[in-house]
Amino acid sequence: MTTTEKKQQLRKHKLLATGLFLLMALIFIAMTITIEKAPQQWMYYVKAFTEAAMVGALADWFAVTALFHYPLGLRIPHTNLIENSKQRIGDNLGSFVVDNFLTSENLRPYISKLEISKFVSDWLEKEKNKQLLSGEVIKYAHKIILELDDQFIIGVIDKKGKEFIDQINANELLGKGLEYAMNKDMHNQLMTFVAGKLKTYIAENENMVKDKVKEESSILIPGFVDNMIAKKLTNGLTKYFADIESNAQHPIRADIARQLTAIAGDIKTKPEWKQDIDKLKHEFLDSSQTTKLAADIWKSVKNGMVTALEADQSALKSYIRKSIDDIADTFKNDADFNQKINAWVRKNAYKIVLKNKGSLGALISQTVGNWEGKDLSEKLELEVGKDLQFIRINGTLVGGIVGLIIYTVTQILL
């Protein structure tokens, strides 16, 4: 019920109670005048009833009004009780709620029935709710990413990156990396690729070889001899690199493998390698390159996530929706998980309420105490004023009946 409706209802019942009082007053006046002119025995009974009814009505009107206002605006002691006692009301209300509702005996039966997992499961079972949740997650994730302090994030990446790099044993890492590449036969693959490229390059650039031979040749050597030498060189080199390319057991492959194995061992063990690599590492850490690298990393990550969140379809959005589906399925089918969730919620809800019940009582007291006295009085009158008007009505009727009884008993006795 709205505040306006409550005000209309209160006004209607006030008019009803006041109207009943005025009716008693009119009947009383009518009986008084009629008795003076043409008295009848029954008129005295009606007059006694209405006289007592008016007294009862006025007494209850005063009592009800004194709760919320000064009767007729007169500052009579112990009236306008709500406004004048709002702080005490707030304190008592806070203590009442804490002492009578927030006790372990009262809380335990209700908290033990909490089944938050069932509520979540039922809610997530509806497709529109899953879509709503995924939409909100995507929206807030997008907002959070855009509002993040870029410089702060870059600073964190830069700092953590430097700490990580500084702790790395670069010699051990490089040495093992080279050994790993050799174990995976990457060095042979690289030699096959390089030999093939060199073979093709030399074959395609035979004229360049001829020109170089002529440049270095004596003027006494005929040109056809230079060409023959160049041809021999070209064919020889082409055949040599072709042989390396096609022959997995070529001696140069084994020689290079031995040298790489020795280099890997030297990198891991020899002090001069450690000094040189540590020097390079610290030069890199002391330069602005790490900050630039951190900025590039964050820019790439941020742009990628923003683009994915703004796209109609993306792997990130699909992952979010799938995660929500998985969560819904877990709540629906995993009884052990639901039991753990409910137990955790019940335990912490119980502890939190008991731990903070004093704060709740203080909050009620402070809230009521901070209200304007007139506002509090009006709020309470709107809530209970309608029922209090029935006290006025009952007071009118009961007062009249009591007055009639007293008058009747008096007539009998006299």
Residue % of the chain over a pLDDT of 90 = 4
State how far the Cα of 255 lies from the Cα of 244, in Å rounded to an integer: 12
The pLDDT-based confidence of 22 (bands split at 50, 70, 90) is: very high
pTM: predicted TM-score of the whole model, two decimal places: 0.48
**230 pLDDT higher than 70:** no
- Radius of gyration of the chain, Cα coordinates, nearest whole angstrom: 49
pLDDT at 354: 77
Highest mean pLDDT among 3-7, 161-165, 171-175, 396-400: 396-400
Average of pLDDT values for 329-335? 87
State how far the Cα of 299 lies from the Cα of 148, in Å rounded to an integer: 12
Residue 23: CB atoms within 10 A of its CB come to: 15
Q: Which of 215, 252, 214 is nearest to 231 (CA)?
A: 214
Average of pLDDT values for 320-331? 88
Query: Of 17 and 214, which is predicted with more confidence?
Result: 17
State how far the Cα of 295 lies from the Cα of 150, in Å rounded to an integer: 8
- H/E/C letters for each residue in 178-203? HHHHHHCCHHHHHHHHHHHHHHHHHH
Question: Which single residue is written with the structure tokens 């990628």?
Answer: 304
Instruction: Give the tokens for residue 380.
Output: 């309470």
**80 pLDDT higher than 60:** yes
**383 pLDDT higher than 90:** no
Contacts of residue 371, Cβ cutoff 8 Å, sequence gap at least 6: 86, 379
User: Within 13 Å and on the Cβ side, how many CA atoms surround 313?
Assistant: 0
**61 pLDDT higher than 60:** yes
Identify whether the C-beta of residue 316 lies closer than 8 Å to the C-beta of residue 309.
Answer: yes
Identify whether the C-beta of residue 200 lies closer than 8 Å to the C-beta of residue 237.
Answer: no
Highest mean pLDDT among 44-48, 245-249, 286-290, 312-316: 44-48
State how far the Cα of 278 lies from the Cα of 288, in Å rounded to an integer: 17
**23 pLDDT higher than 90:** yes
pLDDT at 26: 94
pLDDT at 49: 92
CA angle 262/265/267 to nearest 5° reads 110
Q: Which amino acid is at 395?
A: G
Dump pLDDT digits (tens) for 87-99: 676 666 667 777 7
**214 pLDDT higher than 80:** no
Sign of the dihedral defined by the CA atoms of residues 321, 327, 330, 331, in that order: negative
pLDDT at 376: 62
Average of pLDDT values for 75-92? 68
User: Within 13 Å and on the Cβ side, how many CA atoms surround 24?
Assistant: 26
Sign of the dihedral defined by the CA atoms of residues 161, 167, 171, 172, in that order: negative
Residue % of the chain over a pLDDT of 70 = 83
Instruction: Give the tokens for residue 377.
Output: 């009085």
pLDDT at 27: 92
**247 pLDDT higher than 70:** yes
